[in-house]
Structure 1
Amino acid sequence: MLDLMPALAAWPPAATGGRCAVATVVGAGGSVPRPVGTSMLVSESGDVLGSLSGGCVEGAVVAVALEVMADGGTRREFFGYSAEDAFAVGLTCGGELEVHIELLADTLGGLRPEGLATLDAHDPGPGLALIRRIDAASPEDALSPRGARFGRGTGSPRGAGAVVIPDPARYQVAQSDAVAALLGVAGDGARSLLRAAAAQIEPLLRTGTTGVVRLAAESGCSGDAAAGRPAAEPLTLLVESRLPPARMLVFGANDFGAALVPAARLLGYHVTLCDARPAFARQERFAAAEEVVTDWPHRYLAAEAAAGRLDARTVVCVLTHDPKFDIPLLQTALGLDLAYVGAMGSRRSHAQRLESLLAAGVAPGELERLHSPIGLDLGAVTPAEVAVSITAELVAGRSRSAQGLSLKHGSGPIHRYPTPEALTPPAPTPHHTPHYQEMPWT
């Protein structure tokens, strides 16, 4: 929902006070197009803002959203893959989605769409978080089969509204009357439940991530077996948190820096380009960076750290390829708590760089944090390809995937230029008659 909030005030159905519903992915399994927290808005006239699955379940979700707007309740729908029923609404990718649908007014609580105009997706200030109640209305509703593949609603929620948090990194859940009201608790029992909630919610707020939090229901979790009543569903909250964009510091006003700056901005980084040479740094091709700084790299990095403008999400990419800049810069960077430190260069320059850093007093353990040569082993050659290699390594590091594919773990040449044989297209076969001029991959 947070991804849609900056556009909500300008979306005509919401801006004009029309009735709208919000559908949000609150559970996902297997191969699914979008993660938990992805939302889509639907108006009374069927207008849509956003997407949940790329098309395969949107039609069914719109139909349920219209029902929600008609009766004022909420629904929880399940979508999966059905090989038995070719006409069923499901996910062709084979995954499973759990979608919560409610009125937009309940999602935002007292926050009106026009009050969201100041929320900027690219510059959210100290950040923003949204905590929503998504559990079912009663224990009987919770019995709706979670294994059902398609469209099984579970009634309206016990809780209502949401808590909007303007500074999630500093928010104290245990002292929050707003969260207590959202949970429907008060008195002496409220603090113990809030402490339990804080233990799960605050890590999500602090890291700017999205997740579902479940807490023991107020009436207990044992139910009433003698009366045939099931256990109450846990209090369930959807927590979405967005922190200010992480910083990327690109050192090196060259072709590789010019390619990396816009690529990094596509990933949501706040990008600063730094170079000690004014004639290079002030070139127009670096205008995509939020900041362009002319200073000695290690001096600028140390000053930013001393001013508290770096954190554990900050990325440093050293593209200067010049020992007089690289060594003091990397020595400074490896002494800081940063998410990523990478340096461009050949394997020979990397070996020389390690020797120089060891001689400068950098501990061997700190050198293990250095991504050098920088990037994933994609066979990148051009500046644009190298930018893809670097950003791919950053994405892989976030998800802890592509293990062993980094250039730092490999051997042999970094750049593998295609041979003439590789550029020769295959001869047409009797079953392959090209209707266009085939071009070699480059």
Structure 2
Amino acid sequence: MIDLRELREHPDVVRASQRARGADESLVDSLLSADADRRAAVSRADELRAEQKAFGRTVGKAPKEERPALLERGKELAAEVKAAAAAETAANEALTAAHKAIPNLIIDGVPAGGEDDFVTLKTVGEPRQFDFQPLDHLELGEKLGAIDMERGAKVSGARFYFLRGVGARLQLALLNLAIGKALAHGFTPMVPPVLVKPETMEGTGFLGEHAAEVYHLGDDDLYLVGTSEVPLAGYHAGEIIDLNDGPIRYAGWSSCFRREAGSYGKDTRGIIRVHQFDKVEMFVYARPEDAAAQHEQLLAFEEDMLQAMEIPYRVIDVAAGDLGTSAARKFDCEAWVPTQNAYRELTSTSNCTTFQARRLGIRYRDENGKPQVAATLNGTLATTRWLVAILENHQQEDGSVVVPQALQPLLGTDVLLPKQ
């Protein structure tokens, strides 16, 4: 949730953020109204409780003949207090609903607009010029005995797959390299639960506009996570964490699940857009004033991994309307996919400022010992989709694939050969 003090002091900033996102500006006025109503309801209820307390002392000291009238007034006052308490509860609920309807405030400099309005910040490497007709990642995966979509569909349905043989080994090598790099940068590795409670999913902002993407187990009222960002954010929910020695960094390795609702007909071939995949996700708790610098570091770690894979990529500053509820700024790294003649997203890193931590009750103590709301950030370090770019960019005419040098020690080979 956004800071209500920011709303009260700078409502035009919140309105501008909504405009840049293409979101409803009227929600700002609704929240201002709900905030004012709630403060008025709290004040009225407090006044009546104080009056009731003082009145009780008066009754005890009153002459006997005055007490019947005072007791009658006491009953009236009790009813007023009860009604005021109910109004306070309703005002709190209305404020919470209005508060949750506003996405995070974008950071200055974020491009306005939607999915196609990103700004390219840099391009690294040149797309390879093939002297043969390149195969797409699925054709290569089938030749290598690495990807089996047909049996994935037979077992689980569309957009499921098996990674087998060198495909499974390639993913494990990639994710192990990512964990190794995370360790070198001071991250604590985590294998989190992939089922979470509603309050954890909602706290991270995934039950708003993204609710259709999430798998829900109704009998248990649990959600399958689409990223380990969710359980890692919930890890310190309701706690005061220690940031005196700097940010807290976790690297979560988990399976992830997405319904891909609304993507019918998009990327149906291969493993670009699937319902289940594995990922190493970086997650950081920091002081708000350190969040921007931490965001740049997460981006640098992602670029280091991409460069280790020896594939061309570009970095984009994602436009406000494509940020999602929790992010105040997001950088995507998109790798070149030869057979699509296009850059496709492999990583994202988001600065969520204090938005998630405010929802989840995560605080730290400042230099005066006063609790303050922490900032949270996240970023992808490797995921199953990376196999698409690795296979296509490093393929040879005979269907073999050269293994990036950084992965060769983990795979024990420098080339993946087609099955005979």
TM-score w.r.t. the length of structure 1 is 0.24
**RCO greater where, 1 or 2, for CA within 8 Å and sep 6 or more?**
2
Higher helix share: 2
Q: Taking structure 2 as the reference length, what is the TM-score of the superposition? A: 0.25
